[in-house]
Amino acid sequence: METLPNLIGGQWSTSSASEKSPVMNPSRGDQIAEVPMSSAADVDAAVQAAQKAFPDWRETPPNERAQVMYRLKALLEDEFDELAKGISREHGKTLIEARGDLRRGLEMVEYACGAPTLLMGESLENIARGIDCHTDRVPLGVVAGICPFNFPALVPMWMWPLALACGNCFILKPSEKVPMTMQRVAELLKKAGLPDGVFSIVHGGREAVDALLEHPGIEAISFVGSTPVAEAIYKKGCLHGKRVQSAGGAKNFLVIMPDADPEPTAAALRDSAFGCAGERCMAGSVAVAVGEAGNRILPGLVDIIKGMKVGPTDGVDQPDMGAVITGAHRDRVNELISLGESKGGKVIADGRNAKVADAPDGFYVGPTVIDEVDYGNDIATTEIFGPVLSVMRAKTLDEAIAAANKQSFGNGACIFTTSGKAAREFRHRVSAGMVGVNVGVPAPLAYFPFTGWNQSFYGDLHMQGREGVQFYTKQKTTTTRWFSFGEGDIWVKD
């Protein structure tokens, strides 16, 4: 069984830790590799290598850093199909979804190619007579990222392309469940000309995470994961004097108005709730049907679900939906469906007993819809992270907005309507950082920030866009005065 090495100082190295964690193929339920549960000593070695590489990388002109990103983009395009297949194999998502995962990551590399423009400061002459002022954006130093399993390419690439383009050195702790994609990308980074030590990978679990949070040589931490862990990461990182951006979980509400166009709305609900098997923080997990909207939209959605194929994603014939990440997670999702049903929910599409004949050991949950869910039902407020859509009923738009704003998360919220008035009211009043109008997954592109609110984000500066640049840099302001001949007490005329 292959044990993946760490990348430290530009060299692949064996971890000092003896404990290993399996890497599974969710489609088949079999093990394909293992990763070391690296120690604090491994983290320290990566930090020391990064600190050694930082002075020269910082002095590398932004346009030369951008050239590394340009070369990397070309290499990623060349290996796009193979990388997508690898994502499908280690994660279980379909090839179409894997390509989307990688494409969105590539967009972050493209954005980082704009480093010379993104890092420009500001200046103003004559803030007082003969005195000028200007600002510079300078790198922080050594920074780190801790990633979840659900997007093996995109989420790590939310972080390190911008961090590197800004002149920092980066240490990545990928999810131990999906470490292989970034392993290959790291090889391409080296091929693109990135100097040794500028980018490191340290595999592991709790010990590695704690070491990253506590190490005095690390200036900033980026994290994506569940809300309880995101909050803990934020608090501990701040306690140790680090800048932290920590993205947590979500419970995204999809409000359906009676005037919504039935066919595209049902298709959008399918893609939002069941895309990537529901394992994404922008998944639509609660639909709020206003008035007669439920009776108009739900039958069409159930018909769509009946035609969806669930199965392995590592072959030529692709299903509509793949497996969830582990057997334990499959069992948890099934338990939450049963809990929702026991508390009054009506299961109108049931994926608990999904059977896949050619992959009997895979981790499968079929697309599930639970109607007539109220706020007393845990399934309406718990992040399930699986292919489950709960349906609530509301009499008015006001009632629907109140339901969406009552929950503690605040990643995304969407409305389906043909009314500009309703859309404007929803956009203005809903308490979520990313809003969709007739869009089921309102995730922004690389040049906009990923703006989660409430308990979906801890920190001040979000990932992506100019906020990402601001997070990975600090400002230096210089005030300059040059004296005229004979002016001032430090100039003496002969």
Backbone angles phi, psi at 450, to 5 degrees: -90, 90
d(CA 106, CA 274): 24
Check if the beta carbon of residue 223 is closer than 8 Å to that of residue 244: yes
Tokens, residue 97:
């979804």
**Number of other CB atoms surrounding residue 316 within 10 Å:** 5
Sheet holding 142-146, edge to edge: 11-13, 6-8, 199-201, 169-173, 142-146, 220-224, 243-247, 457-458
d(CA 235, CA 242): 10
Catalytic residue among 113, 166, 169, 281: 281
Residue whose C-alpha is closest to residue 473's, from 461, 487, 488: 461
d(CA 366, CA 95): 18
Q: Is 281 a catalytic residue?
A: yes
**Number of other CB atoms surrounding residue 475 within 10 Å:** 11
Q: Which residues of 96-107 are buried (b: 16+ CB within 10 A; e: fewer)?
A: ebbbbbbebbbb
Q: Catalytic residues, which ones?
A: 281
